[in-house]
Structure 1
Amino acid sequence: MTARDKVWTDVIAVRDLEPGDSTPVTLGSRALAVFDATDGIYVSLARCTHGAANLCDGHFDGRFIECPLHQGLFDVQTGAAKAAPARVSLRMFDTRVMDGMVQIRV
């Protein structure tokens, strides 16, 4: 499947987001984290790549999410791991807002 074959799927209404924070969402069997960042909305898988903790339970400063288990740090714009013990980037999704809904391309 190419990127062109992927479809946009509704995840959550913008009005249901935790303003300036992370919001946990389940889409099918996927646990997602939706980040209402200072410069836009980003969506990743919700589990830390180091210890599998739910990132939505961690501290979010508008750009970086800190894992609540071991304090690994991720950039929600890119998914990049920024602080040990996290070394593997988050799986990020192409994200857009359409008609008041946060959507990802899957």
Structure 2
Amino acid sequence: MTQNWIDALAADDVPQDDVIGVDVAGRDIALYGMDGEVFATDNICTHGHARLCDGFLEDGEIECPLHQGRFDVRSGKAMCAPLTEDIRSYPVKIENGRVFVDLG
């Protein structure tokens, strides 16, 4: 599979221990800063159509602001009810102070 690395934003703009929503090539993406790493998922909850960047990040899980379902930000796995569907996660790399996301 061909990788499609797209420049998302400056690495310094990703808050540590928090989440930010960004537009990456027309796609609503959530970027999470944790332990010096950056993770990326779709920004829309699969259950309630809420923006995950408005949720609460703790211990590697993002809590949806609508119904408190949680996703693992490293894998996109749905962790509890009422979620029944995972979110898509994306590979991330940091080069020259920029965050790149592979939307492939």
Q: TM-score, normalised by structure 1?
A: 0.90
Deviations 1:57-83 (A, max 9, x none): 111014000000000000011110001
Give 1:58's aligned residue.
55
Deviating more after overlay: 67-76 vs 13-22: 13-22
- Higher mean alpha-carbon deviation, 46-55 vs 26-35, is at 26-35
Alignment equivalent of 1:71, drawn from 68, 73, 92: 68
Letter in 2 for 1:82: M
Q: Is the 8 A contact 2:6 2:24 kept in 1?
A: no
Which blocks of at least 5 consecutive residues in structure 2 are unaligned? none
Alignment length (residue pairs): 103
CA shift for structure 1 position 18: 1.8
Matches within 5 A, 1:1-106: 3=1, 5-38=2-35, 40-106=37-103
- State the TM-score, normalizing by the size of structure 2: 0.92
Distance in 2 separating the partners of 1:12 and 1:96:
11
Give the Å deviation of 1:28: 2.9
Q: Percent identity?
A: 34
Unaligned runs of 5+ in 1: none
The alignment's C-alpha RMSD in Å is 1.2
